[in-house]
């Protein structure tokens, strides 16, 4: 925390701003925003720079505006990496399917073993040893698809409705431009479009059929989960089509009750 404060102090000094200048500028922002929390008093600024005091989200905003810094950079100085949100969210096991609405910068990174950073050809199937202990980072752009044009979702840990095509805990990529329900154009189940659906009680994934003002959410026959019918439109909304998936294979024993 003190290191972050020192960085903020160096930026202020490089701009030749005194404590009083920052206080007056933050007061102006507070008036513009109609919220006194954006204001930064002299003693508070001194504590932020010299005592490791963490600024509130409002004062952090004011500092970013006054110093011309990106909000995410200041957060990084305080140990909060916005680009880690998708990775951390994927590690959280929740029972129900949910969407993920994160924006990932083009230079975001994801962890990989340092031993393969310079020898990994992503065009070929590769084996990453389970004995690898040291991890580094590669640009997330190498994943090819993880960008802000799409939305993402997590299949709930208790959601077996599309198993084995979509396993519980799967990370799915959703194209919101593909919301029209297709009625033909596939030769087997792996080609049939899967849709991410929002309804009154949450979210589901599945095959969809629309007819006579109703929408049939069809589950995979191997899942043993019953299909559902909704009035459409009205009781359900198509978020988009699932166009990508990352999932684990070693699920272990399935519970008797699935939803």
pLDDT in tens, 136-159: 444 444 344 445 677 878 888 888
Domain shared by 21 and 128, yes or no:
no
25 confidence band (pLDDT: 50, 70, 90): very high
Domain shared by 176 and 251, yes or no:
yes
Domain shared by 134 and 222, yes or no:
no
Domain shared by 135 and 53, yes or no:
no
Domain shared by 127 and 32, yes or no:
no
With residue 32 as reference, give the H or E element that holds it.
helix 19-33
Six token digits for residue 117: 């950073």
State residue 151's pLDDT score: 81
Neighbours of 140 (CB within 10 A): 19
- Quote the number of domains for the chain: 3
What CATH number did the domain enclosing 98 receive? 2.10.109.10
Q: Fill in the DSSP letter of residue 145.
A: S
Domain shared by 206 and 253, yes or no:
yes
Domain shared by 49 and 85, yes or no:
no
Domain shared by 125 and 33, yes or no:
no
CB 169, CB 153: distance < 8 Å = no
**Per-range mean pLDDT, top range of 66-70, 91-95, 161-165:** 66-70
Domain shared by 43 and 100, yes or no:
no
Alpha-carbon gap, residue 103 to 245, rounded angstroms? 18
Phi, psi (5° rounding) for residue 65?
Answer: -70, -40
Mapped onto helix, strand or coil, the DSSP state of residue 241 is strand
The DSSP result for 219-257, as a single string, is PPGGGTPPPEEEETTTTEEEEEEEEEEE--S---SPPS-
Six token digits for residue 44: 């508070």
What CATH number did the domain enclosing 23 receive? 1.10.260.40
Task: Tell me what the pLDDT averaged over the chain comes to.
Answer: 80
Q: Nearest-CA neighbor of 172 among 157, 156, 155?
A: 155
Domain shared by 95 and 63, yes or no:
no
Q: What separation, in Å, do the N-terminal and C-terminal C-alpha atoms of the chain show?
A: 44
| 63 or 109: which leads in pLDDT | 63
State pLDDT tens for residues 169-228.
888 888 889 999 998 889 988 899 999 988 888 888 999 999 889 999 999 988 888 999
Lowest mean per-residue pLDDT among 38-42, 68-72, 82-86, 116-120: 116-120
Q: Which residues pair with 199 in a beta bridge?
A: 202, 236
Domain shared by 173 and 195, yes or no:
yes
Alpha-carbon gap, residue 246 to 172, rounded angstroms? 6
Domain shared by 128 and 255, yes or no:
no
**Structural domain that includes position 117:** 108-144
- pTM assigned to the model: 0.54
């Amino acid at each position: 925390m003190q290191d972050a404060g020192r960085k903020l102090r160096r930026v202020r000094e490089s701009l030749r701003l005194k404590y009083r200048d920052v206080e007056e500028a933050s007061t102006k922002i507070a008036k513009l925003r109609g919220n006194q929390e954006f204001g930064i008093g002299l003693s508070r600024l001194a504590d932020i720079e010299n005592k490791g005091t963490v600024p509130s989200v409002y004062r952090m905003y004011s500092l970013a505006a006054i110093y011309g810094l990106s909000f995410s950079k200041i957060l990084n100085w305080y140990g909060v990496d916005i680009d880690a949100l998708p990775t951390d969210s994927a590690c959280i096991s929740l029972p129900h399917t949910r969407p993920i609405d994160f924006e990932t910068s083009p230079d975001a990174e994801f962890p990989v073993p340092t031993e393969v950073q310079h020898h990994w050809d992503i065009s070929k199937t590769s084996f990453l040893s389970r004995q690898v202990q040291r991890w580094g980072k590669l640009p997330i752009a190498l994943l090819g698809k993880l960008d802000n044009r799409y939305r993402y979702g997590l299949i709930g840990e208790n959601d077996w409705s599309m198993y084995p095509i979509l396993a519980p805990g799967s990370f799915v990529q959703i194209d919101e431009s593909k919301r029209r329900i297709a009625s033909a154009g596939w030769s087997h189940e792996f080609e049939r479009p899967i849709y991410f659906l929002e309804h009154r009680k949450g979210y589901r994934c599945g095959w969809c059929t629309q007819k006579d003002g109703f929408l049939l959410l069809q589950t995979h026959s191997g899942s043993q989960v019953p299909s559902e019918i909704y009035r459409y439109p009205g009781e359900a909304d198509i978020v988009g089509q699932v166009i990508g998936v990352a999932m684990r294979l070693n699920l272990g024993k399935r519970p008797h009750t699935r939803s």
